[in-house]
Amino acid sequence: MWKKADPPKEEPPEPKDSVQSRPEGLAGDRPRNRQAVAGAGMGSSIRIQGDITGDEDLVIQGFVEGSVDLSKHAVTVGPEGVVKANIKGRLITIEGRVDGDLIAEERVTLRSTARVEGDIASPRVAMEDGARFRGAVDMGEAPKPADGSRSSELLSVSTSSTPSKSSSSSKSKSDSASEVRRGTNASNAKTGSGAGS
């Protein structure tokens, strides 16, 4: 009479790649629970003057002056972190303030609260809207033009909402010296869109 109850379904297994096991999330994958990030943490009241080296990930919430060299690991400067040093890491994420260069083997991410003055060298760089930065970004050697397989997406895991150049640019290539053309009056307001990363 009663509908036979379905056997309990098996719960899908917990993904192995949880936040806890990831020292640093991908762009768009923001580990809000910073405490869960594996590795060493440096509290906001801690001040270090000197060189930091080691073999684990590091989250800096305090003040560092000197150098930070964790080339094989993730370095995060939290919102309260202030670093006056060059930082070397595999993955570098900045939410606080850095006066110094950032050198990452894989990726540098500047969150919206970041304030960075220095140069960045990394094959991938992502910058969130609101991040303040002055300096140069060097994403490595210029790609070989013959390849054609490399696209801008390889430079960052952040997605871009902008269409390709070829689809959106439709102007004539016929420039002439000293020519002054009356261009379009900028109209239509699609306000403030697409500024995020």
Partner 1 sequence: MAGWLDRLGRRISSGSSSVPGDQEGDEPERRRITGSTPGIAALLEAVEADGSHSILDLGPAMASSFQLYRRFAHRIRFADLFGEWTKEGWKTALASIPQQARGSYDLILAWDMLDRLSPDGRRELIDTLAGLSAPGAGFHTVIHDSGVETIRPLQFGLLDVDRMYYEPSSSIRLSRTPILPAELARLVEPFRVTRAFTLKGDLREYVAIRS
Q: Which residues form the interface with partner 1 (CB under 8 A)?
A: 117, 125, 127-143, 145, 150, 152, 155-156, 158, 160, 162-166, 168-169, 171, 173, 175-197
Q: For residue 14, how many C-alpha atoms fall within 13 Å in the half-sphere facing its CB? A: 6
Provide φ and ψ at 21, rounded to 5°: -90, -5
**CB of residue 124 vs partner 1: minimum separation in angstroms?**
9
In angstroms, give the least distance from the CB of 150 to partner 1.
7
**Residue 149 in 3-state DSSP?**
coil
The amino acid at 171: K
- In angstroms, give the least distance from the CB of 131 to partner 1: 6
User: 53 or 152, CB closer to partner 1?
Assistant: 152
Minimum CB distance to partner 1 smaller for 78 or for 118? 118
Q: Are 104 and 122 in contact (CB under 8 A)?
A: yes
Choose between 32 and 173: whose C-beta lies nearer to partner 1. 173
Concatenated DSSP letters of 37-53: S-SEEE-TT-EEEEEEE
Nearer to partner 1, 43 or 140 (CB): 140
Minimum distance from CB of 160 to partner 1 (Å)? 5
- CB of 31 closer than 8 Å to CB of 24: yes
